[in-house]
Structure 1
């Protein structure tokens, strides 16, 4: 699925708002500063949800482009990813049009295969030179359809595609099923209570992982996180410890 040195991605804001606490960066400057600090703490990629000044998620080139430029101008040299999702543009045709209108491109874009139009959206992104993170939920209330859509879509000629799996819980049986998937890199993550157990399991499995206030607001010991950098540092330490333990066994 993946291997040694698998990526640790930071979700710097996600769907969070100002009401979720001071750890959530809101303005483009705050997002940029948070990304810089998270990379310094060990994040190998940044996932950011671009927002309009009123806080609405957006795929507009007037929102996406300036944010990416500000982050790169501030010294963020790791890959930058944005979600191309219903939250930013409910209409599948509208999402395609937005992606085609981008003048500044992210390195990667997240495509949710639980949403309509995922396949065509992924193909448009790849045609524009943007790598695709195919997001598939597993466990909990998620049915088999998103994974089935990904399997139908993920042909060998689709190029730089990665499978990002949101696990409802750290269930080894769910991960075992991924061994039968096409040979693409895999990133595992969970939200809230599942976040840290899934990250530990990702470390043991050798897959990529994700953390950040977009997914979880507390540290492994239950304390409230003060920043994305603090979450990344905790994730880095946790991964190193889990990897060392797996090596001893």
Structure 2
């Protein structure tokens, strides 16, 4: 499985190729799926380009992408979009159009309640477990662990020389992870080293402008689709 992460928390300052409107996200998703991506992860945006869990904007984003692709689509629930846990929970409960799955960062306040609300609504939960946090320990204690869709093992170490070892340490922390599938990925300078590790370990992975703005050779990535093409070439 190769998931494409279309935009992340990036904005206009990160380049015109980062999709920020529903229409641009839908076009980017269509191109990435045509290139071989089998799942989409997206951050809905306000008109000024900030991440949001607004029911209206989540619906507009999902509707636009679903009009172009038929693969599963997931969204973020990152605390940076709405820092207050109660506000974040209320917005998710008010969603009128539901994603196929949503990522929940287990180290963030209110993660358990948010995951429970998503599961109650029939939305799959990607358990976001970040290196450098207590997310793995919290997830190991969670009664919701066995009900999650998969673990999104996120390597926050961006140093190319050490991201791989950090990834292995994170996987060790996760242990059996309730038997849930693991999607392993890195970011920025660590994105390609961790993707290569995921390939060697036979794990699902992801790639896209959220995780890296560069191709494996260091050149600027022109699109999400090109990143997917390069990732699939490395995955063999």
* TM-score clears 0.5: yes
Post-superposition shift, 1:64? 0.2
Instruction: Decide whether the 8 Å contact of 1:154 with 1:182 is kept in 2.
Output: no
| Alpha-carbon shift at residue 66 of structure 1 (Å) | 1.3
CA positional deviation for 1:114: 1.7
CA distance in 1, matches of 2:201, 2:119: 28
Q: 1:222 to 1:154 in 2, by over 3 A?
A: farther
Structure 1 counterpart SS, 2:205? strand
1:173 positional shift: 4.0
| Highest RCO, 1 vs 2 (Cα 8 Å, sep ≥ 6) | 1
1:114 corresponds to which residue? Answer: 107
**Structure 1 unaligned regions, length at least 5:** 1-6, 241-249
Q: How does the TM-score come out when normalised to structure 1?
A: 0.88
Note the alpha carbon deviations across 1:136-166, whole angstroms, 9 max, x for none. Answer: 112xxx14x211111111546x534311111
SS at match of 1:182: helix
Alignment match of 1:133 (pick from 108, 126, 136):
126
Report the equivalent of 2:20: 26
- The residue that corresponds to 1:190 in the other structure is 186
Farther-moved stretch of structure 1 (57-66 vs 173-182): 173-182
Picking from 78, 84, 89, the partner of 1:85 is 78
Shift of 1:49: 0.3
Cα deviation, residue 125, structure 1: 0.3
Partner in structure 2 of residue 210 of structure 1: 206
Q: Does 1:58 align with 2:52?
A: yes
Partner residue of 1:35 out of 10, 29, 34: 29
Aligned equivalents of 1:70, 1:97: Cα separation in 2: 23
Change (3 A) 1:190 1:209: same
5 Å-filtered alignment, 1:156-167, equals 158-167=146-155
Structure 2 segments unaligned to the other structure (5+ residues): 158-162
The match for 1:201 is: 197
DSSP 3-state at the match of 1:170? helix
Q: What is the rounded CA distance, in whole Å, between the counterparts of 2:38 and 2:122 in structure 1? A: 20
TM-score (norm 2): 0.92
Q: Deviations over 1:141-194 (max 9, x none)?
A: x14x211111111546x5343111111211134434444332001000101110
After superposing on structure 2, the runs of 4+ consecutive aligned residues of structure 1 that deviate more than 2 Å are 158-161, 172-181
Root mean square deviation of aligned Cα: 1.4
1:151 counterpart = 2:151: no
Aligned to 2:7: 13
Specify the SS of the correspondent of 2:87.
helix
Once the two structures are superposed, what CA deviation does each residue of 1:38-91 show, in whole Å capped at 9, x if it has no partner?
0100111111100111212111111001110111112x1111000112122111
